[in-house]
């Protein structure tokens, strides 16, 4: 899969996506990632990417020309264009799965007050927000999206089952995971639950299921409705 990210802060994406699993996916050839500085597609001396909003109001708006020039240069007939924006649909695992099945994504990062709406109308296939909180920088949202998408590409996760069995995947159902423990069995007087040491897989399974429901009721009651 090929992913191009367009941002005025390339390091915000290239640093986190250069570590760990994302690094392995690129070295292994499953991911061809390029993080571009949007200013490469400006033509003026000051490399301007923003301007004041028509109709007045707070802040600056990102100009259309650099986005159009970049997308027109980078896209192919199979490309889908994603815009990271607080005005987008809230990202969930179904949209992540849909994007993971694409051959080529171009991800546009919104900054400032927003992006000229002609970009949205003429270029964008998916408008995505990673959640209902305020960020200063759309490139952070793009790094989150790319991590979620790339781990679903076949061969990226060492153990193929791990992608399927996580919370929120279609097969896993919408329930949180049970608590997990490792050595030592007693840490500062806090013991690992007996059942996990029992070796009784049936009982362990029942315990995990009950704990998962309990945790979901506590932290994410919306998932049980």
**In the 3-class helix/strand/coil scheme, how is the chain assigned residue by residue?**
CEEEEEECCHHHHHCHHHCHHHHHHHHCCCCEEEEEEHHHHCCCCCCCCEECCCCCCCCCEECHHHHHHHHHHHCCCCEEEEEEEEEEEECCHHHHHHHHCCCEEEEEECCCCEECHHHHHHHCCEEEECCCCCCCCHHHHHHHHHHHHHCCCCCCCCCHHHHHHCCCCCCCCCCCCCCCCCCCCEECCEECCHHHHCCCHHHHHHHHHHHHHHHHHHHCHHHHC
| Per CB under 6 A, 154 contacts ligand JBQ | no
| Per CB under 6 A, 114 contacts ligand JBQ | no
| Per CB under 6 A, 138 contacts ligand JBQ | yes
| Per CB under 6 A, 7 contacts ligand JBQ | no
Least distance (Å) between residue 139 CB and ligand JBQ: 8
One residue of 92, 94, 131, 184 binding ligand JBQ per CB under 6 A: 131
Residue 10 vs 110, nearer CB to ligand JBQ: 110
Instruction: Give the number of residues in contact with ligand JBQ, rule: CB under 6 A.
Output: 12
Least distance (Å) between residue 17 CB and ligand JBQ: 16
One residue of 44, 121, 134, 171 binding ligand JBQ per CB under 6 A: 134
One residue of 25, 61, 100, 130 binding ligand JBQ per CB under 6 A: 130
Helices 93-100 and 138-150 pack at an angle, to 10 degrees, of: 70
One residue of 25, 84, 146, 148 binding ligand JBQ per CB under 6 A: 84
| Per CB under 6 A, 96 contacts ligand JBQ | no
Least distance (Å) between residue 135 CB and ligand JBQ: 4
Residues near ligand JBQ (CB under 6 A) are 84-86, 110, 129-131, 133-135, 138, 141
């Amino acid at each position: 899969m090929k992913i191009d990210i367009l941002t005025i802060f390339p390091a915000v994406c290239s640093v986190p996506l250069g570590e760990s699993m994302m690094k392995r996916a690129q070295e292994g050839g499953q991911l061809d990632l390029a993080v571009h500085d949007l200013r490469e597609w400006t033509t003026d001396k000051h490399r301007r990417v923003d301007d004041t909003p028509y109709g007045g109001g707070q802040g600056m708006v990102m100009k259309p020309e650099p986005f159009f020039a970049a997308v027109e240069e980078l896209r192919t007939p199979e490309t889908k264009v994603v815009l990271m924006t607080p005005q987008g649909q809230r990202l969930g695992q179904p949209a992540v799965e849909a994007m993971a099945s694409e051959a080529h994504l171009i991800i546009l990062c919104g900054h400032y007050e927003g992006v000229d709406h002609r970009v949205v109308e003429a270029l964008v296939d998916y408008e995505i927000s990673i959640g209902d909180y305020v960020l200063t920088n759309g490139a952070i949202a793009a790094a989150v999206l790319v991590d979620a998408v790339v781990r679903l590409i076949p061969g990226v996760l060492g153990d193929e089952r791990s992608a399927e069995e996580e919370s929120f995947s279609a097969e896993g159902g919408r329930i949180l995971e049970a608590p997990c423990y490792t050595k030592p069995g007693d840490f500062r007087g806090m013991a690992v639950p007996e059942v996990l040491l029992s070796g009784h897989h049936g009982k362990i399974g029942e315990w995990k299921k009950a704990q998962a429901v309990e945790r979901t009721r506590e932290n994410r009651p919306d998932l049980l409705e």
